[in-house]
Structure 1
Amino acid sequence: MGRFVLLIVTALFSLHLGVTASAQSGEGEIAAEAREQRGYWLSRRVIVLPLDEPAEVVLRSGSEADAVALHPQGGLSADMAARFPHLRGMASYRLPVLSRERLIRMLRGDLVVEARRGGELVLSTGLQLPGVLDDLFANEEPLGVRFEGGVPVLSVWAPTATSVRLALGEGDEPEFLDMAFDPETGIWSARGEENWYGRPYRYEVTVHRADTGRVHTNLVTDPYSVALTTDSTHSLILDLSSDDLKPESWDNLEKPSLEAPEDIAIYELHVRDFSIADATVPADERGKFEAFSRTSSNGMQHLLALEEAGLTHIHLLPSFDCATIPEAGQKTPPDLTSYGPGSARQQAILEEHRATDGFNWCYDPYHYTVPEGSYAADTDGAARTLAFREMVSSLNRNGLRVVMDVVYNHTTASGQAERSVLDKIVPGYYHRLLEDGRVATSTCCANTATEHRMMERLMVDSLLTWAKAYKVDGFRFDLMGHHSRENMLKVKEALSSLTTEEDGVDGSAIYLYGEGWDFGEVSGNARFVQATQAQMGQDTGVGSFNDRLRDAVRGGRPFDTGIQHVQNQGLANGLYTDPNEERPADDGAREEWLAYADLARLGLAGQLSGYRFEGASGEEVTGADVLYFGTPGAGYASDPQEAINYVAAHDNETLFDIYAYKLPLDSSPTDRVRSQVLATSFVLLAQGIPLLHAGQDMLRSKSLDRNSYDSGDWFNLLDFSYQDNGWGRGLPPRQENEANWEEQRAFLTHDDIKPEPRHIAQTAALTREYLQIRSAEPLFRLRTAEDVQRQVRFLNTGPDQEIGLIVMTLGEDEAAPELVVVFNTKAERASFDTGLESDYALHAVQQKSADGALRTASMRSGTASVPARSAVVFVRR
């Protein structure tokens, strides 16, 4: 996500912190001022409070008999300060030694801390409990459903609940069964019978909420669900190891070969987008997991052509159970083809169907470890498990590994909201709380707190299930910077420990990457050392999205609005070399081109923090020195595999749409093709791991929609017949495009922007050519930072460089490198004297290029001649 663009989602899934109809009694109600939780119970002996001066402090829980006097002990200990850095400076108070039984009783009741000075009340507040709950109850005992001799055992972690019953069956009158509580682990469990297999269940949890001051009795699904009924109303008792849930040869599924992470090339794809508009897929399988088994379909033929060219991984946008797609009763919006390219009618009509259609990006987790039902032809129970596995099996058999986009940084809802799960079982634990006890929502929804041990465990356990039970080959972490570096290293360690012999999976080949953005309440390591770009680029082997290369190539930044979109050109769309109507080729544009060129060179060298090269100043710089919009530290990786190179993704405008703004308005369709492919070539010829947005290779447009997470199939069209790229399907949804909406009509109705089918097909062919070159040449897939430093060099650098050209050489011999790559960002053909004396020929793939202009590129006597808006690879003879 640069996905915090989805802040609009908070309007759909706001916090529900008030008393609701699910409150079963008013017992234990506390004063309104105590609803806030400004104190922190960190361990069985330590509470910290926002007090500047010592005070007489009492902890009250329910009856007067449970009142406990606390004793001041200065500030936090070094250990506590390391674990809770955001609490440094708060006053620490010590509890007397209390029995485990008494601690449990107190934690289940109304907790209020009162502080007085000279008899005057100076503080009355509730307490945040995650620290003490971790101290007392964090464990590794089994959770969810497990089978012992064919008999199911169900377990749920609910240490603060006063009662948990198993509600077995559907309907208004399920069978209620008492569950046993273990005071050492906080786990409630029940042993069932063999005939329970396949039955639906929920937990009835009675628990006090500090934010409402009431006791609530909730019927709630299992956070560790592995199967669900339609629309996720009930969990199901299923065994994922059952042969009935396995496709043919599932246990012996062979993975496509992968020698090293640097060999990975990724295609980011949405399950529904992939086939919903594909007439070559049976109607009942369109938009479903099953479509990936239809190898003769247009979509699968497209993926197989990419695989043959060098693609290795399909990255699926979230495919776990999500809250915003109805699985039953979906409604299909009416046909909208009669409206014009600049009409507002399409988005207005679709607005009426947003809540009932089948489309959403699915970044709204409901149950983390169950496939999304709407993506299966049969939404109920085991069918979705089998469908997901068949998809993985088909893709693997056809040479493609599968990456799953995961969203452990937030849940759809919290509190007593309808789709809240975790917070109904252990209130105030699974989510990150602000200083007053409210749930943080900087990610768009209710932020989870994976710094808490049992939330971290839930994430790790879920990932292990996807890896072992579904044979997923990689994971992309949404807003990874909201997790800690320690979280990610634990995930990597757990997955890497999997073996083919013991687990049926080679965990060493599972690749991890994510969005290492730094923002929100965790920003600047406020709560922990974050999993941000710079901190994951320290020998972790975990990839982070490379926004530096993206912005240099595209120009501007993702959150540009209004005229900025047009003004902020980049290397591949005409900055200085082919100015548009709003961006003259002045000295400012020249300086910006030089700065972007250094960013691009660093990106081509894997975004390595220690990579040394001559910068635009003429001085040698390292990646850590290079500025990213005025701030040093553009280089963040320690190894090429830690950089995910991209210029487009599901977030923000597609590459075609951003170029509709930035290229001169009178650019020909041919120029638009070449500019788009030039941008893609930077990604595919860079060290590190390339990621392509689905349809980037087909000039995909979303009709200028900058945030299509809920814009329906209409604006998210992906046409593998190459007939329609999606441009001009009407003004996009106004609420997501307000800043540009009035100006978008002029672009959408411009006659020369929409490409013809031949342009789409040519773009697809040219993209495959660069994939072929990358796959054929190991020098584009170097394994270490040392290899990159030794073998990747740049010509045409320094303050007097020729604007418009980036020239890269690859190979051990500086005087006679094996490969020479020239990126010509100019609008006209360019020549450049490399000074190299060896004889070079155009790469064999480009000698047969789908672009006739590329076939004319040459390098004679050291002088390269390269057509406009092109990246050309020359090979030493």
Structure 2
Amino acid sequence: MAVPQENGHGDARGALHLLGDDASAEERPAPVPALPGSWQPLGARYHQGPDGRPGTNFALWAGGAEAVELCLFDEDGHETRHQLAEQTFQIWHGHVPGVGPGTRYGFRVHGRWDPWTGARWNPAKLLLDPYARAVDGEFRIHDAVYGHVRGWPEADVADTVRDNRDSARHVPKAVVVHDPDDWADDRRPKTPWADTVLYELHVKGFTMRHPGVPPELRGSYAGLAHPAAIEHLVRLGVTAVELLPVHQFASEEHLQRRGLSNYWGYNSIAWFAPHNGYAATGTRGQQVTEFKRMVRALHAAGIEVILDVVYNHTAEGGEGGPTWSLRGIDNAGHYRLQPHNRRAYADYTGCGNTLDAAQPQVVRLITDSLRYWVTEMGVDGFRFDLAAALARGPHGVDMRGALLATIGQDPVLSRVKLIAEPWDLGPDGYQVGNFPPLWTEWNDRYRDTVRDFWRGAQPDVRELGYRLAGSSDLYQRGGRRPYASVNFVTAHDGFTLRDLVSYNSKHNEANGEDNRDGTNDNRSWNCGAEGETDAAEVTGLRRRQLRNLAATLLLSTGVPMLLAGDEFGRTQGGNNNAYCQDNETSWLDWSLRDDPAWAPLFALTSRLIRLRREHPVLRQRFFFSGRPAHPGGLRDLTWFTPRGVEMTEADWYAPSQTLAMYLSGGALAERDARGEVVSDDSFLLILHAHHRPLSFTLPGRPWAERYEVVLDTAQESGLSDARHPAGTTLTLPGRSLLLLRSVAPA
């Protein structure tokens, strides 16, 4: 069935092709030529054509292709092909009169089949437009969607035997979208970075079990836009939602075969299209309007929308993966290939492939996508998954590389919030602290330090001091500010906050990988029992640890990020890699918010956010200097030992599980609109992670005359109205945190 053919290079290996049952393009009617149209913009744009008739212009970059066919599909799935005969600057384009919004389409791209040189063109495969603004249908695994013959026994040619079976019946279609919304009635919140509180949530999981959201809207963009969902965000006090991926994505084959799906969505395939699985109103373009309405509703509540975006790889996977889009458009023009074996991919992502962000056409694809989401979809910023992979050039990670440089000078993108996950899986991929100005970063050093401190695994307090004060050791270079550090204790990837204090080990059996998946480096402590328990001593300690962790996060300098549901004790049953659990394991259980055991945690979290908003000393815009703002004043930051005296160099190196920091509100390096220095209250924050009680002497003059307790995590509510004269020796219970307001001498 397979016959060797010349590959155009005289290579003795030949190129192998399969003559499939669905027949090749030669048996179909010749495609109808499209009108020339325009090479700009890329994608499908509905407009008035050059002949005055309405229609749609199609444009596709396919640098090394020999021919491109546009394929239109009617309501019955019948396919009509149009030859895109015009090519300008490697962009194939054409205008088809009469084609309007809602029309489904795809491309077939002709060219050489020579995997050994990275050429994987196969016109039998219907390809999704990378610029598609909407996608109709699901990505289901079928042998016909692979460009090569599956199951070829010889490993040296396993992915090189071309499969000529038509894939059109088995793949989703792009949709022509026309939505002229100009956002004239939208008011973006534009919260400064220093005032930002991030809230990471999953569009579907946030509302799937929300009793206040109508059942038909749960799990959708419309569900997140519902007043009942937004009411929680407003009550909590967060300023921005960071949405797990909403670009159209697909589930990996190994998940589909186990009856699971990629719930998190870190497997993108169309970077302009809102994921159609989150649309309650339809998938023929309605998802675009629904997404925009969601953004408007959040903006009206004063909440920014930040997207978690995955440009580092695509759902096509490694060389053995399906041919859904870029692989069939121009494989070598989009992906990083091994320099000495261009049949194979350079995989810096752990997902089989890596997008080559050093190539001009890839830079354009990514930046066009980003601008589209800002200007036409209304979003306010982006968190870039595995961002180090996007900074890779020919010689490794380069922070002056093409993509980062382009974003940094772009008049649209340079004005929005940019967050890097500052690592990938390749050599020198760990880049925490190295991204340029304009960028903030997920600070995993903060996460690990705070987890270790509260479980008693830190030998001293040096690392904790840096993390509490904004991580100047990582971010002070290059003119960056403390808000370059996105502080977090938990995120979608790993334990929830409740599970962090309930499990020593991961419990991922439901994922179907024999508990091998997910990290073993959890830095968690179960407080004496593994998993759920009725033991009052254990459950009481766990709730206190949750209060300690939440308070530490929200009282640290930097930008705090909360994981949705942590504020009321969400659990995943110990699963620290719930990426494939589209069920009650991952969906928020809203009954917990009003549960007497967990409602105090929600009240405490919202109170801490409000406290942070009311006091600029708790959300510093500049790094601490250790100096007073004016002669005779207090230094902006002072560290104390339990004896109530200032720490010395030796104290930082001494074994200790207690640290106290005094934040001087009179030493803020801020000015108001009139140029006057801003002042605030001063606070003393004491963190004590040892299991035994501790005697702590409150510092006296000049720092305070007396102190008022603002927060005491030893109390279930966290509330206390205690007042203490300076110099008082307090007894701090084991594993507790105390925040006190300083009352200055008269």
AA at the equivalent of 1:822: I
SS of 2:44's equivalent? strand
Matched, 1:186 2:90: yes
Q: Deviations over 1:528-550 (max 9, x none)?
A: xx7922321x4x13111111121
AA at the equivalent of 1:253: D
> Structure 2 matches for 1:505-544, cutoff 5 A?
510-520=416-426, 523-524=427-428, 532-536=431-435, 538=436, 540-544=437-441
Q: Deviations over 1:288-338 (max 9, x none)?
A: 111122213xx443222112xxx1001110011011299xxxxxxxxxxxx
Summarize the Cα distance change of 1:789–1:161 in structure 2 as closer, same or farther, 3 Å threshold. Answer: farther
Q: What is the match of residue 871 of structure 1?
A: 737
Matched, 1:222 2:222: no
Q: Distance in 2 between matches of 1:283 and 1:511?
A: 33
Q: Distance in 2 between matches of 1:354 and 1:788?
A: 57
AA at the equivalent of 2:615: E
Q: Equivalent of 1:645, from 487, 496, 519?
A: 487
Q: Distance in 2 between matches of 1:825 and 1:397?
A: 41
SS of 1:545's equivalent? strand
Q: Equivalent of 1:664, from 527, 533, 536?
A: 527
Q: Distance in 2 between matches of 1:230 and 1:251?
A: 32
Q: Equivalent of 2:281, from 361, 371, 378?
A: 378
SS of 1:447's equivalent? coil
Q: What is the match of residue 90 of structure 1?
A: none
Matched, 1:254 2:254: no
Using the TM superposition, give the Cα deviation of residue 603 of structure 1 relative to its aligned residue in structure 2, in angstroms.
1.0
Using the TM superposition, give the Cα deviation of residue 663 of structure 1 relative to its aligned residue in structure 2, in angstroms.
4.0
> Structure 2 matches for 1:126-525, cutoff 5 A?
141-149=40-48, 151-170=55-74, 173-182=78-87, 185-211=89-115, 216-217=122-123, 218-231=125-138, 233-241=172-180, 243=181, 250-258=183-191, 260-296=192-228, 299-307=229-237, 311-324=238-251, 355=259, 360-413=263-316, 417-418=321-322, 420-435=324-339, 436-437=341-342, 438-445=344-351, 446-484=353-391, 485=399, 486-487=401-402, 489-490=404-405, 492-493=407-408, 497-498=411-412, 510-520=416-426, 523-524=427-428
Summarize the Cα distance change of 1:819–1:508 in structure 2 as closer, same or farther, 3 Å threshold. Answer: farther
Using the TM superposition, give the Cα deviation of residue 508 of structure 1 relative to its aligned residue in structure 2, in angstroms.
6.1
AA at the equivalent of 1:543: T
Using the TM superposition, give the Cα deviation of residue 265 of structure 1 relative to its aligned residue in structure 2, in angstroms.
0.6
Superposition TM-score, scaled by structure 1 size: 0.64
Matched, 1:717 2:587: yes
Using the TM superposition, give the Cα deviation of residue 483 of structure 1 relative to its aligned residue in structure 2, in angstroms.
1.3
Summarize the Cα distance change of 1:325–1:442 in structure 2 as closer, same or farther, 3 Å threshold. Answer: closer
Q: Distance in 1 between matches of 2:666 and 2:297?
A: 43
Q: Deviations over 1:731-756 (max 9, x none)?
A: xxxxxxxxxxxxxxxxxxxxxxxxxx
SS of 2:588's equivalent? coil
Q: Distance in 2 between matches of 1:214 and 1:685?
A: 53
Summarize the Cα distance change of 1:25–1:276 in structure 2 as closer, same or farther, 3 Å threshold. Answer: farther
Summarize the Cα distance change of 1:190–1:853 in structure 2 as closer, same or farther, 3 Å threshold. Answer: closer
Summarize the Cα distance change of 1:778–1:492 in structure 2 as closer, same or farther, 3 Å threshold. Answer: farther
SS of 1:855's equivalent? coil
SS of 1:366's equivalent? strand
AA at the equivalent of 1:541: L
Matched, 1:819 2:725: no
Summarize the Cα distance change of 1:141–1:679 in structure 2 as closer, same or farther, 3 Å threshold. Answer: same
Q: Distance in 1 between matches of 2:196 and 2:718?
A: 29
C-alpha contact (below 8 Å) 1:354/1:711 kept by paired residues:
no
Matched, 1:804 2:695: no
Q: What is the match of residue 6 of structure 1?
A: none
C-alpha contact (below 8 Å) 2:357/2:390 kept by paired residues:
yes
Higher RCO, Cα 8 Å, sep 6+: 1
C-alpha contact (below 8 Å) 1:354/1:710 kept by paired residues:
no
C-alpha contact (below 8 Å) 1:809/1:817 kept by paired residues:
no
C-alpha contact (below 8 Å) 1:25/1:216 kept by paired residues:
no
Using the TM superposition, give the Cα deviation of residue 353 of structure 1 relative to its aligned residue in structure 2, in angstroms.
8.6
SS of 2:299's equivalent? helix
Matched, 1:599 2:470: no
C-alpha contact (below 8 Å) 1:854/1:870 kept by paired residues:
no
More helix by share: 1
Summarize the Cα distance change of 1:813–1:473 in structure 2 as closer, same or farther, 3 Å threshold. Answer: closer
Using the TM superposition, give the Cα deviation of residue 142 of structure 1 relative to its aligned residue in structure 2, in angstroms.
2.5
C-alpha contact (below 8 Å) 2:7/2:113 kept by paired residues:
no
C-alpha RMSD of matched pairs (Å): 3.5
C-alpha contact (below 8 Å) 2:496/2:571 kept by paired residues:
yes
C-alpha contact (below 8 Å) 1:281/1:294 kept by paired residues:
yes
Q: What is the match of residue 793 of structure 1?
A: 638
Q: Deviations over 1:380-427 (max 9, x none)?
A: 111111111111111111121111000000001155844531110012
Q: What is the match of residue 616 of structure 1?
A: none
> Structure 2 matches for 1:770-785, cutoff 5 A?
770-785=608-623
Summarize the Cα distance change of 1:664–1:169 in structure 2 as closer, same or farther, 3 Å threshold. Answer: closer
Using the TM superposition, give the Cα deviation of residue 493 of structure 1 relative to its aligned residue in structure 2, in angstroms.
3.2
Unpaired stretches in structure 2, ≥5 consecutive residues: 16-37, 49-53, 139-170, 392-398, 505-524, 530-536, 629-635, 642-646, 669-679
Q: What is the match of residue 698 of structure 1?
A: 568
Using the TM superposition, give the Cα deviation of residue 638 of structure 1 relative to its aligned residue in structure 2, in angstroms.
3.3
Q: Distance in 2 between matches of 1:828 and 1:700?
A: 29
Using the TM superposition, give the Cα deviation of residue 711 of structure 1 relative to its aligned residue in structure 2, in angstroms.
2.1
Using the TM superposition, give the Cα deviation of residue 802 of structure 1 relative to its aligned residue in structure 2, in angstroms.
7.8
Summarize the Cα distance change of 1:458–1:214 in structure 2 as closer, same or farther, 3 Å threshold. Answer: closer
Superposition TM-score, scaled by structure 2 size: 0.75
Identity across the alignment (%): 25
SS of 2:94's equivalent? strand
Summarize the Cα distance change of 1:442–1:758 in structure 2 as closer, same or farther, 3 Å threshold. Answer: same
Unpaired stretches in structure 1, ≥5 consecutive residues: 1-19, 36-138, 327-349, 499-506, 525-529, 555-569, 576-591, 612-622, 624-634, 725-756
Summarize the Cα distance change of 1:531–1:461 in structure 2 as closer, same or farther, 3 Å threshold. Answer: farther
Q: Equivalent of 1:682, from 552, 558, 561?
A: 552
SS of 2:68's equivalent? strand
Summarize the Cα distance change of 1:164–1:418 in structure 2 as closer, same or farther, 3 Å threshold. Answer: same
Using the TM superposition, give the Cα deviation of residue 841 of structure 1 relative to its aligned residue in structure 2, in angstroms.
3.3
Paired residues, number: 612
AA at the equivalent of 1:202: G
